[in-house]
Structure 1
């Protein structure tokens, strides 16, 4: 109750952001232990506080088999206020989306938060993936896919470069009237090689789900990539789109 009240009061002080509902989630490992629940509560509280400051945090709580490990990261381009609001939304959402689950992950547009009984910190995780793709096709699909390949190569390279904070952003003119925007990001606990490998793995889904699509994003627990024909990252240079209206979501558990 104390944690729930703390998070509620904290959320009242935060600005509104587009983070009320997660765009993807994963829940596993049902438990009944009150100690595990207490450790989860502590991890969520720590992550909400610490990641609000620098946009990234890892933590743990408990001993031996009851230990819970956690990670939170905001998208590297969002403001501190939007980051804090997104983390607060995730903290409130976990008991609703993943009740009594010791392995839980929530993806939002602005942030990603997870906790687990296994120590996943510093390990690349590509065992679960969610893909969101636009239902509309590009008018010149072959040329468009070539442009997507080029810009994704740029943002992926930028995300693993020194000083990038594991974030890559690029935009390029596709036609006189269409600009292509792209973003790539890894969780900041990964080494550059791990980040590069994770981002490379996202591209395997492009021929299957993203070909010709006006927008697409691939979400792993350790990295994500996205492109659109409207500005979606900050600083914005025009009107944003509405992904929820025009997108189909696929959730896969590849082995």
Structure 2
């Protein structure tokens, strides 16, 4: 069975980061980050090497990397510079991973995005464990950014995909309501659940994770 997962900088986990994972291997703690997609905004402005924007981007990404290792919160935003050379950057880690795994992912992501988005003024990088974003404009509280789908194939075959779809739809409706109302730190807008289900004579465990970016207000999290 194939499961389609939609990622968005407004969801998640990166922007809003949104995850709905069915029995993913990363529920356990990996020693490396699992890359999903990198998006470099070629429609944005570009910068040159060793320009003010170049130096500010390097500084903000280095700050994300360092602070994720020292005392990693689930979400962190950093701003550097003034005027047209200001860089806004952030990371968001999935709420069900350890601080060590979060730090590994952020370090990997910040290094990779510098290599992939060489001179673009806006970039996004998505992993199963975290997301990192930088831009020349503030994105705090906003629902915008690239969306893409990832197809994950489950080793489990369901005798009734229609019934499974109904179960998943019910679960997502329930979790949207719960996620929007879960606003307390250290894991705001994060809900996780594991449920053992029996359908059409077969049993399976449904692992569900839903997460919004903490800088959103409840109405934007709900919309996301």
2:142 corresponds to which residue?
123
2:81 corresponds to which residue?
62
Compare the two structures and name the one with the higher helix fraction. Answer: 1
Task: Verify: 1:188 aligned to 2:214, yes or no.
Answer: yes
1:109 corresponds to which residue?
128
The structure, 1 or 2, with the larger RCO (C-alpha pairs under 8 Å, 6+ apart) is 2
CA distance in 1, matches of 2:208, 2:98: 19
CA distance in 2, matches of 1:82, 1:135: 24
Deviations 1:116-172 (Å, cap 9, x if unpaired)? Answer: 0011112122x4211112356632011100100111122222221233511111222
Deviation at 1:16, TM superposition (A): 6.1
CA distance in 1, matches of 2:86, 2:137: 8
For the Cα contact (< 8 Å) 1:158–1:169, is it kept in 2?
Answer: no
Deviation at 1:63, TM superposition (A): 0.8
Task: Verify: 1:82 aligned to 2:95, yes or no.
Answer: no
SS of the aligned residue for 2:163 comes to helix
Instruction: Choose the corresponding residue for 2:32, options 13, 18, 28.
Output: 18
Deviations 1:192-248 (Å, cap 9, x if unpaired)? Answer: 1111111xxxxxxxxxxxxxxxxxxxxxxxxxxxxxxxxxxxxxxxxxxxxxxxxxx
Deviation at 1:51, TM superposition (A): 4.1
For the Cα contact (< 8 Å) 1:58–1:71, is it kept in 2?
Answer: yes
Instruction: Choose the corresponding residue for 1:39, options 56, 73, 79.
Output: 56
CA distance in 2, matches of 1:105, 1:184: 20
For the Cα contact (< 8 Å) 2:38–2:113, is it kept in 1?
Answer: no
Deviation at 1:47, TM superposition (A): 1.6
For the Cα contact (< 8 Å) 1:51–1:73, is it kept in 2?
Answer: no
State the superposition RMSD in angstroms: 2.0
SS of the aligned residue for 2:181 comes to coil
Deviation at 1:174, TM superposition (A): 2.9
After superposing the two structures, state which structure 1 stretch, 47-56 or 96-105, moved more. Answer: 47-56
For normalisation by structure 2, the TM-score amounts to: 0.75
CA distance in 1, matches of 2:176, 2:54: 37
> How many residues of Structure 1 are paired with residues of Structure 2 in the alignment?
182
2:66 corresponds to which residue?
49
Stretches of structure 1 lacking an aligned partner (at least 5 in a row): 1-14, 199-255
CA distance in 2, matches of 1:168, 1:88: 25
For normalisation by structure 1, the TM-score amounts to: 0.66
Task: Return structure 1 stretches of 4+ with deviation > 4 angstroms.
Answer: none
Stretches of structure 2 lacking an aligned partner (at least 5 in a row): 1-28
SS of the aligned residue for 2:54 comes to helix
Deviations 1:3-47 (Å, cap 9, x if unpaired)? Answer: xxxxxxxxxxxx96230x520121023322611110101110122
